[in-house]
């Protein structure tokens, strides 16, 4: 009997539901259970879901990340930005770049190639917002650490792209001295960021138009899904960042429309099964067979990235005179790393093909460890800050 995609989707939903409840016994976030469920039923453990089926479920990840970005963007209300000023930007820059520098310097000090160190260091700046958002939603976290965290993870994507652009430019100059332009190499990620923000802003303005004519919740939910899917698809087709574009669209909407809060509540009604499937699928993609391959370089990356994130976030918060709880705990909430890092690792492998296998093994192993432990660390840090309300 041939099993079809709908059967696998049912299996994903049921397994996620069961393991999401099971991890509560260990007081872990639901997202950890979803990832474990995916790891177990995926092609690397029990093999209940074949690898080609997992690859065919990429649309689930695209939908979930678009909704997550849309949710994050709603935090950028002008009233909030006026209150906090540039603090989230400064923290995001410090935590991202400090992680990059810490990983790159550590690898060079241990004798690894400079080109490899620069590229892995740049990838280290990336943070995955999805797991963080799930923890915040599950425990209804609220407070200065949570508010700052949501803004920081939104900006982090831009910081990672710029850091990687610099690293690529330097590596290109090292490989082809005098043949490549540093300015052009740096302008590429900057152009990607600006293009994503501009198109997101325009879609946010357009979003308001149909809301004038459609008042029923069912119609508005359809409009919301259509705009989110449109934004994500346009970003992919134009070589922009779907995360930044959907964030910009949501940020624009909350500042120009009085209906924004109701739209966000409607979006929340359809996201639970999408988010569950996203994390189970993410778990299925975690390849445990790469763990034995990472060796010293993987250990250095995993440890020094976390050290850099925590130190950089604390330093940025201290410079901006953020509340004590923000200085102490925000860095621990920035551990998860997934999609953006994996995407950048593929680009890095193309630049230094001799190190392609090492780069892939390090990033996939780090993703496995960070995604399984990160949500629990985020929950613990928000708990210590006294911001969990569940």
- State the CATH number of the domain containing residue 348: 1.20.1530.20
Cβ-based neighbours of 290, under 8 Å, separated by 6 or more? 360, 361, 364, 365, 368
Question: 177 phi and psi, to 5 degrees?
Answer: -60, 130
- Cβ–Cβ under 8 Å, residues 40 and 284: no
Torsion of CA 362, 367, 370, 375, to 10 degrees: 180
Q: Is residue 200 part of a domain?
A: yes
pLDDT tens per residue across all 390 residues of the chain: 667 889 999 999 999 999 989 988 887 888 888 888 988 998 888 889 988 888 888 888 888 888 888 888 887 888 777 776 788 888 888 988 899 999 999 999 988 888 888 888 888 888 877 778 888 888 888 888 888 888 888 788 778 877 887 787 777 777 776 655 666 666 777 788 889 889 999 999 999 999 999 989 999 999 999 999 999 999 989 988 888 899 899 989 999 988 888 998 898 888 889 989 988 888 887 777 766 767 788 889 889 999 999 999 899 988 888 888 888 888 888 888 776 777 777 777 777 777 777 887 788 788 778 877 888 888 888 888 888 874
Residue where the block lists tokens 């990033």: 363
Q: Considering just the CA atoms, what is the radius of gyration of the chain in Å?
A: 20
CA geometry: angle 262, 266, 270, nearest 5 deg: 165
pLDDT at 179 (0 to 100)? 58
Q: Is residue 41 part of a domain?
A: no
Give the span between the Cα atoms of 353 and 333, in whole angstroms. Answer: 33
71: left (phi over 0), alpha (psi -120 to 50) or beta: alpha
Distance of CA 258 to the CA centre of its chain: 28
Q: Is residue 81 part of a domain?
A: yes
Give the span between the Cα atoms of 226 and 221, in whole angstroms. Answer: 9
CA geometry: angle 198, 200, 205, nearest 5 deg: 100
pLDDT at 216 (0 to 100)? 92
Long-range contacts of 376-381 (CB under 8 A, 24+ apart): 376/28, 376/29, 376/32, 377/332, 377/333, 377/335, 378/29, 378/131, 378/132, 378/135, 378/332, 378/333, 378/335, 378/336, 379/28, 379/29, 379/135, 379/139, 380/332, 381/145, 381/329, 381/330, 381/332, 381/333
Distance of CA 3 to the CA centre of its chain: 32
| Nearest C-alpha neighbor of 126 from the set 86, 105, 97 | 97
Cβ-based neighbours of 21, under 8 Å, separated by 6 or more? 33
- Cβ–Cβ under 8 Å, residues 96 and 163: yes
| Nearest C-alpha neighbor of 5 from the set 44, 58, 46 | 58
Gap between the terminal Cα atoms of the chain? 44
Residue where the block lists tokens 């099964």: 273
Q: Is residue 24 part of a domain?
A: no
- Cβ–Cβ under 8 Å, residues 379 and 28: yes
Q: Is residue 68 part of a domain?
A: yes
pLDDT at 362 (0 to 100)? 83
Q: Is residue 48 part of a domain?
A: no
Q: Is residue 37 part of a domain?
A: no
Give the span between the Cα atoms of 57 and 50, in whole angstroms. Answer: 11
Q: Is residue 353 part of a domain?
A: yes
Range of the domain at 229: 55-384
Distance of CA 81 to the CA centre of its chain: 22
pLDDT at 329 (0 to 100)? 86
Cβ-based neighbours of 322, under 8 Å, separated by 6 or more? 87, 91, 144, 148
Which helix (DSSP H) or strand (DSSP E) does residue 74 occupy?
none
Instruction: Give the predicted TM-score (pTM) of the model.
Output: 0.78
Show the DSSP H helices in 212-294 as ranges.
217-238, 242-256, 260-284
Domain total for the chain? 1
| Nearest C-alpha neighbor of 71 from the set 137, 126, 127, 128 | 137
């Amino acid at each position: 009997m041939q099993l079809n995609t709908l059967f696998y989707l049912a299996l994903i939903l049921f397994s996620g539901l069961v393991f999401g409840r099971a991890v509560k016994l260990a007081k872990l976030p639901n997202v950890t259970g979803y990832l474990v469920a995916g790891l177990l039923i995926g092609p690397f453990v029990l093999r209940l879901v074949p690898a080609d089926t997992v690859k065919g479920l990429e649309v689930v990840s695209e939908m979930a990340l678009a909704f997550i970005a849309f949710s994050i963007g709603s935090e950028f209300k002008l009233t909030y930005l006026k209150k906090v000023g540039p603090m989230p930007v400064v923290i995001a820059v410090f935590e991202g770049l400090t992680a990059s520098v810490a990983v790159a310097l550590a690898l060079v000090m241990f004798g690894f190639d400079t080109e490899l160190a620069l590229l892995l260091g740049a990838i280290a700046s990336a943070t995955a917002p999805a797991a963080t958002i799930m923890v915040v939603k599950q425990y209804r976290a609220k407070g200065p650490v949570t508010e700052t965290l949501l803004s920081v993870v939104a900006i982090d994507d831009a910081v990672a792209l710029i850091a990687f652009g610099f690293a690529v430019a330097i590596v290109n100059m090292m490989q082809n001295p005098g043949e490549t332009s540093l300015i052009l190499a740096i302008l590429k990620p900057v152009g990607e960021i600006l293009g994503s923000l501009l198109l997101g802003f325009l879609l946010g303005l357009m979003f308001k138009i149909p809301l004038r004519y459609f008042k029923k919740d069912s119609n508005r939910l359809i409009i919301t899904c259509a705009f989110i899917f449109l934004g994500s698809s346009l970003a992919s087709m134009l070589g922009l960042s779907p995360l930044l574009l959907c964030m910009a669209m949501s940020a624009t909407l909350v500042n120009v429309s009085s209906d924004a809060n109701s739209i966000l509540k409607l979006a929340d009604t359809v996201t639970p099964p999408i988010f569950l499937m996203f994390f189970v699928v993410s778990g299925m993609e975690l390849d445990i067979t790469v763990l034995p391959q990472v060796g010293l370089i993987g250990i250095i990356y995993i440890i020094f990235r976390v050290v850099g994130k925590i130190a950089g976030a604390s330093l940025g918060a201290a410079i901006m005179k953020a509340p004590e709880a923000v200085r102490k705990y925000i860095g621990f909430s920035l551990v998860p790393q997934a999609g953006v890092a994996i995407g950048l690792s593929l680009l890095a492998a193309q630049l230094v093909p001799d190190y392609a296998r090492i780069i892939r093994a390090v990033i996939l192993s780090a993703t496995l460890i960070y995604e399984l432990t990160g949500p629990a660390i985020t929950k613990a840090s928000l708990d210590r800050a006294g911001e969990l309300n569940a």
